[in-house]
Structure 1
Amino acid sequence: MFTFLFVACAASATGLAQADAPLVAESDGQAASLGYRADASKVDKAKYPRFASGQQCANCTLYQGKAEAKSGPCSIFAGKQVAAIGWCSAYNKKA
């Protein structure tokens, strides 16, 4: 029983920590290397020809935020959030 309570508390605290996490900066080393843009409409299409209109973090498999949220956690950027309307070259469309 104590194990269950510990796991439940840890999961709850992790959710709170992610909700308070800062947004990843486009200038962040990892973000820059992936071409992250907080606004997908500003992606350099010549540099990232794989980008297609309609692709954004909110409909990527790596995005862990709620559908209606303006930002949320991404499994690529640990401890940080990405803009729901953002994009990076690791984009992978949700099924």
Structure 2
Amino acid sequence: MKTSRRHFLLLSAGVGSSLAWSRMALAAGGPTMLSPGDPQAQAVGYTEDASKVDKAKFPNFAAGQSCANCSLFQGKASDAYGGCTLFGDKQVAARGWCSAYSNM
């Protein structure tokens, strides 16, 4: 079968767009980062930076506490983000903190 230039270009465009759509689908299925504005995050005072915790509002906060060393954190301590059993499939910042912090 002899392939014309037009057929080749149409076929190439179809394959290219299929690859682009599959890449976008994979990217959309990646982990979702927890936003401090999320109602569930606000309920426990989640912040992405433990150094910015309002110590007057959260007196149980102690220096050195962060998501990375919390027993609910599902990532490695060296990960920038990881899962948290409290927030389901959403990722939390390893340097973050919330009032559900536990080191047990």
What is the TM-score normalised by the length of structure 2?
A: 0.70
Equivalence for 2:26: none
Q: Establish whether residue 85 from structure 1 lines up as the match of residue 95 from structure 2.
A: yes
CA distance in 1, matches of 2:91, 2:68: 12
Unaligned runs of 5+ in 1: 1-19
Match of residue 64, structure 1, among 55, 74, 86: 74
CA deviation after TM superposition for structure 1 residue 92, in Å: 0.3
| SS of equivalent to 2:32 | coil
CA deviation after TM superposition for structure 1 residue 66, in Å: 1.5
Q: What one-letter code is carried by the residue in structure 1 that aligns with 2:82?
A: G
CA distances 1:46-65 after superposition (whole Å, capped 9, x unpaired): 00000010000000000000
| SS of equivalent to 1:72 | strand
Q: Establish whether residue 76 from structure 1 lines up as the match of residue 86 from structure 2.
A: yes
CA deviation after TM superposition for structure 1 residue 68, in Å: 1.2
CA distance in 2, matches of 1:77, 1:52: 22
Computed over aligned residues only, the root mean square deviation of the Cα atoms, in angstroms, reads: 0.8
CA deviation after TM superposition for structure 1 residue 67, in Å: 2.0
Q: What one-letter code is carried by the residue in structure 2 that aligns with 1:80?
A: K
Larger radius of gyration: 2
CA distance in 1, matches of 2:77, 2:49: 16
Match of residue 38, structure 1, among 34, 48, 73: 48
Q: What one-letter code is carried by the residue in structure 2 that aligns with 1:91?
A: Y
Unaligned runs of 5+ in 2: 1-29
CA distance in 1, matches of 2:51, 2:33: 18
CA distance in 2, matches of 1:25, 1:64: 17
Q: What one-letter code is carried by the residue in structure 1 that aligns with 2:35?
A: A
CA deviation after TM superposition for structure 1 residue 79, in Å: 1.2
